[in-house]
Structure 1
Amino acid sequence: MNVTTASSPETTEFEYEPYDNENGAGNVCEYEQHGISFLPVIYSLFFVVGLLGNVLVLWVIIFGVKLRSMSDVCLLNLAIADLLLVCSLPFLAHQARDQWAFGDAMCKMVLGAYHIGFYCGIFFIILMSIDRYLAIVHAVYAMKARTLTFGMIAAAVTWFAGFLASFPDIIFLKVETDRSSQKSICGASLVNETATGNRHFWTIFGLFKMNILGLLIPMTIMCFCYAQIIWKLLHTQSSKKQSIRLVLIVVAVYFCCWMPYSLASFFRALELIKVLHSCRISNDIRLALQVTQAIAYSHSCLNPILYVFVGERFRKNLLRLMSRAPCRVCRVMKTLIPSDRGRMSSTYSTSTTGDERSNAI
Structure 2
Amino acid sequence: MLPPNCSVVHSHAVEAATAALLLLECALGALGNAVALWTFFFRLKVWKPYAVYLFNLVLADLLLATCLPFHAAFYLRRKTWGLGRTSCQVMLFLRAQCRGAGVAFLTAVTLDRYLRVVHSRLKVNLLSLRAAWGISVLVWLTMAALTHQSVFLSEAECPSSEPRMESSFSLIWQEALFFLQFILPFGLILFCSTGIIRTLQRRLRDPDKQPKLQRAQALVAVVVVLFTLCFLPSFLARVLLAIFQRTHTCGVLSAMVHAADVTGSLTYLQGVLNPVVYCFSNPTFRRSYRKLFYTLTLRGRKQEAEAPGYELRDSYS
- TM-score w.r.t. length of structure 1: 0.71
Counterparts of 1:4-43 in structure 2 under 5 Å?
Answer: 17-19=2-4, 27-34=5-12, 35-43=14-22
1:209: how far off? 2.7
Q: Residue in 1 aligned with 2:69?
A: 90
Partner of 1:293: 264
Q: State whether structure 2 residue 254 is matched by structure 1 residue 283.
A: yes
Determine helix, strand or coil for the equivalent of 1:88: helix
Matches of 1:235 and 1:191, distance apart in 2: 50
Identity %: 24
Please give the alpha-carbon distance, in whole angstroms, between the structure 1 residues aligned to 2:281 and 2:131.
Answer: 23
- Does residue 112 (structure 1) correspond to residue 93 (structure 2)? The answer is yes
Give 2:43's aligned residue: 64
Q: Is the 8 A contact 2:152 2:170 kept in 1?
A: no
Higher helix share: 2
Checking the alignment, whether the CA contact within 8 Å between 1:43 and 1:92 is kept in structure 2 is yes
Q: 2:230 aligns with which of 249, 252, 257?
A: 257
Shift of 1:267: 2.2
Structure 2 residue identity aligned to 1:127: A
Q: CA 1:316–1:282 in 2, change beyond 3 Å: closer, same or farther?
A: closer
Q: Distance in 2 between matches of 1:70 and 1:163?
A: 22
| Correspondence for 1:24 | none
Alpha-carbon offset, residue 221 of structure 1 = 0.6
Unaligned runs of 5+ in 1: 1-14, 20-26, 177-184, 323-328, 337-361
Closer/same/farther in 2, CA of residues 189 and 44 from structure 1, 3 Å limit: closer
Contact 1:135 1:142 in 2 (8 A): no
**Structure-1 residue corresponding to 2:109:** 128
Partner of 1:137: 118
Q: How does 1:189-268 map to 2 (within 5 A)?
A: 199=167, 203-212=171-180, 214-236=181-203, 237=206, 238-239=209-210, 240-241=213-214, 243-268=216-241
Query: Residue deviations 1:232-252, cap 9 Å, x none?
Result: 111113345554344222201
Q: What TM-score do you get using the length of structure 2 for normalisation?
A: 0.80
Indicate how the Cα distance of structure 1 residues 153 and 317 shifts in structure 2: closer, same or farther if over 3 A, else same: farther
Consecutive unaligned residues in structure 2, runs of 5 or more: 301-317
Bigger Cα displacement from structure 2, 85-94 vs 27-36 = 27-36
Aligned length: 290
Is the 1:208–1:266 contact (alpha carbons within 8 Å) kept by the matching residues of 2? no
Per-residue displacement from partner, 1:262-315 (whole Å, max 9, x unpaired)? 11112233345x2x442122111101101111222111111114424x344233
If asked which structure has higher relative contact order (CA below 8 Å, sep 6+), I would say 2
**What is the identity, as a one-letter code, of the residue corresponding to 1:50?**
G
Letter of the 1:332 counterpart: T
Residue 120 of structure 1: CA displacement? Answer: 0.8
Aligned to 2:152: 171
Give the C-alpha shift of residue 130 in structure 1.
1.1
